[in-house]
Amino acid sequence: MSSIKLRTKVKGDLVEVKSLIKHPMETGLRKDKKTKEKIPAHFIQEVIVEANGKQVLSADWNTSISKNPYLSFSYKGKAGDKVKLTWTDNKGETDSAEVEVK
């Protein structure tokens, strides 16, 4: 099961992309309430979005991004484009999702 919900919508000559990524986004600064030990850092470092294989967005994230981040942006495109979002975190984990713009 993908950690990414990805939606697209055409508005004129723009494609609006909305995504919700399920991820804990731990800073490494919080302590576990029971053990009092620091919770290890676990956060998304890079987000890449491609349309038809061409990069339309690149974002370098860090610990300041909230848990289960929401990302929304637009690019110049059209119905039929294939939009793919991929993230990679500081532990080397990665996930991606792809949708066709309708």
- pLDDT tens by residue, 64-96: 999 999 999 999 999 999 999 999 999 999 999
The helices-and-strands tally (H runs, E runs) of the chain is 0, 7
CA distance 32 to 37: 6
- The first and second tokens of residue 47, run together, are 């987000």
Helix (H) or strand (E) holding 6: strand 4-11
Look up the CATH architecture of domain 4-30+38-100.
Sandwich (2.60)
Domain boundaries, the chain: 4-30+38-100
- pLDDT tens by residue, 10-61: 999 999 999 999 999 999 999 999 999 999 999 999 999 999 999 999 999 9
Q: What is the pTM of this model?
A: 0.93
Q: Are 21 and 4 in contact (CB under 8 A)?
A: yes
CA distance 60 to 90: 11
Residue 13: DSSP 8-state: T
